[in-house]
C-alpha cells in the first residue's frame, strides 16, 4: 500500500463534503440574545465599547424581541438599567421597575415564540454596583442578598419571564429562588443557573453597558480563573438546589471548564460569550486584522464544540441570519 495509509484530507476536499461530515453545528434556536433596556431613554443609546450593541428604549427592545423571533432565536436575556439606584437595589424588585416592565412588554410581544429570560442580580440596581447588599463592614452579605433575589425572582416571574438567570454567585441562590417561585405558584418558571461564573477582566464593556457603579471587583463571590475542579462543585450544588439549566461564563477563556461541565451535567449546558469577547473580535475586525464573519462563526462553533447546548451571544441575531443564508 502506498504511503500515507490514511488521508483525512479526503473528507475536506469540497465544501459539500466538509458540511456533510461536520461534527458540530450551530442552529439559531440554540442562540440566546442578551439585551439591555435603560429607563428614561427616548432613543437607543450606543455602547461605545460594544459597537453594534445598544441600550434599548422600551420600544426598540420590543422590536429587537420581534426580530429575534423572526430570526428563529432560542431566547432573549434581559438586563435593565434603572434611572435611580439605591443601597438595596429596590428598583430590581419593584414590579414597575425598568426590567420588570421590559419583561412584561417583551412577553406580550413574543408570547411563547421565544424564551424570555430575566437577569436576577442586583448589580444594575445598587448604587455601589455589587451583586448583593453590603453589611456594616462593606462586605457583600450573602444571606441578606438571598432574600432580595427571592423577591426579584417572583417579580420577574409575575412579569412573564419564562426563565430566570441568577448571575450573582451568592451561595444558595438557586434554592431560595426555586422555593420562592414555587411558593408563589410559579412552578413552571425555569432557572438557568450561572453555575460557574468567573471573575473576569472580559466583563469590562458590560460595565459600560449597564453604567455600572462598581469600584473594586467581584472576587469574593465570582470564581477564581485558576480553578477548574471547583466548577464541578458549583454545578453540583446548583443541580441539587433545582437548576433546570447550568451555565459557564465567560466562554472562550473557559472552554476546558465548559467541556468538563458538559461531560457531567444531566441538564442542558449553556455558555455566555461575554461583552469583552464580543469587543475583542469587533475591535480586531474593525482594524482589518481578522475576518469578522469567519471569526464570529468560529468562536461560536468552538463554544458549541466544547459542549454548550445553548450559547448566549450578542451576535445571536446576525449569526442566525448567516445560518439562514447557509454555506
Q: How far is the CB of 89 from ligand PBG (least distance, A)?
A: 11
**247 pairs with which residues across the strands?**
270
* Shortest reach from residue 228's CB to ligand PBG, in Å: 20
Q: Which residues have a Cβ under 8 Å from the Cβ of 112 and sit 6 or more positions away?
A: 162
Give me the least distance between CB of 104 and ligand PBG, in Å please.
20
> Among residues 159 and 210, whose Cβ is nearest to ligand PBG?
210
Closest approach of ligand PBG to the CB of residue 245, in Å: 15
Is residue 120 within 8 A of residue 166, CB to CB? The reply is: yes
Residues paired with 190 in a beta bridge: 163
Q: Are 180 and 154 in contact (CB under 8 A)?
A: yes
Task: Select 143 or 217, whichever has its Cβ closest to ligand PBG.
Answer: 217
Cβ atoms 126, 93 nearer than 8 A: no
Between 57 and 126, CB nearer to ligand PBG: 126
| Catalytic site residue from 62, 249, 324, 327 | 249
Distance CA 166, CA 131 (A): 10
**Residue 270 or residue 275: which is nearer to ligand PBG going by CB?**
275
- Contacts of residues 61-65 at CB distance under 8 Å and 24 or more positions apart, as own/partner, are 61/35, 61/37, 61/102, 61/105, 61/106, 62/105, 62/106, 62/109, 64/33, 64/35, 64/317, 65/35, 65/106, 65/109, 65/110, 65/114, 65/116
324 is catalytic: no
- 327 catalytic per annotation: no
Q: In whole angstroms, how close is the CB of 145 to ligand PBG at the nearest point?
A: 12
Q: Which is nearer to ligand PBG, 57 or 202 (CB)?
A: 202
Cell numbers at residue 96, please? Answer: 414597575
* Binding region for ligand PBG (CB under 6 A): 119, 121, 123, 131, 167, 203, 206, 218, 274-275
Q: Cell numbers 462598581 correspond to what residue?
A: 214
Q: Could you tell me which of 170, 232, 160, 166 has the C-alpha nearest to residue 196? A: 232
Name the residues annotated as catalytic: 197, 249
Amino acid at each position: 500500500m502506498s504511503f500515507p495509509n490514511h488521508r483525512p484530507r479526503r473528507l475536506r476536499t469540497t465544501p459539500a463534503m466538509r458540511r456533510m461530515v461536520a461534527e458540530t453545528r450551530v442552529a439559531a434556536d440554540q442562540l440566546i440574545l442578551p439585551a439591555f433596556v435603560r429607563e428614561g431613554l427616548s432613543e437607543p443609546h450606543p455602547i461605545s465599547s460594544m459597537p453594534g450593541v445598544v441600550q434599548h428604549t422600551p420600544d426598540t427592545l420590543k422590536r429587537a424581541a420581534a426580530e429575534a423571533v423572526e430570526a428563529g432565536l432560542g431566547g432573549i436575556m434581559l438586563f435593565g438599567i434603572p434611572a435611580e439606584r439605591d443601597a438595596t437595589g429596590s428598583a430590581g424588585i419593584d414590579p414597575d421597575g425598568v426590567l420588570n416592565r421590559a419583561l412584561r412588554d417583551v412577553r406580550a410581544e413574543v408570547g411563547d415564540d421565544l424564551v424570555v429570560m430575566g437577569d436576577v442580580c442586583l448589580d444594575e440596581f445598587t448604587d455601589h454596583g455589587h451583586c448583593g447588599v453590603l453589611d456594616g463592614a462593606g462586605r457583600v452579605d450573602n444571606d441578606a442578598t438571598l432574600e432580595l433575589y427571592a423577591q426579584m425572582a417572583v417579580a420577574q416571574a409575575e412579569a412573564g419571564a419564562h426563565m430566570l438567570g441568577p448571575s450573582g454567585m451568592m451561595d444558595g441562590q438557586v434554592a431560595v429562588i426555586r422555593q420562592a417561585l414555587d411558593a408563589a405558584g410559579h412552578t413552571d418558571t425555569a432557572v438557568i443557573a450561572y453555575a460557574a461564573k468567573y471573575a473576569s477582566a472580559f466583563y469590562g464593556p458590560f460595565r459600560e453597558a449597564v453604567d455600572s457603579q462598581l469600584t473594586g471587583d467581584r472576587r469574593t463571590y465570582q470564581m477564581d480563573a485558576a480553578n477548574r475542579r471547583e466548577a464541578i462543585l458549583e454545578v453540583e450544588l446548583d443541580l441539587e438546589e433545582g437548576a433546570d439549566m447550568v451555565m459557564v461564563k465567560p466562554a472562550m477563556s473557559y472552554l476546558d471548564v465548559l467541556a468538563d461541565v458538559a461531560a457531567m451535567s444531566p441538564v442542558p449546558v449553556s455558555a455566555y460569550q461575554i461583552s469583552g469577547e464580543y469587543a475583542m473580535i469587533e475591535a480586531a475586525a474593525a482594524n482589518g486584522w481578522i475576518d469578522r464573519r469567519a471569526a464570529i462563526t468560529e468562536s461560536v462553533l468552538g463554544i458549541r464544540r466544547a459542549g454548550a447546548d445553548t450559547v448566549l451571544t450578542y451576535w445571536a441575531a446576525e449569526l442566525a441570519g448567516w445560518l439562514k443564508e447557509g454555506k
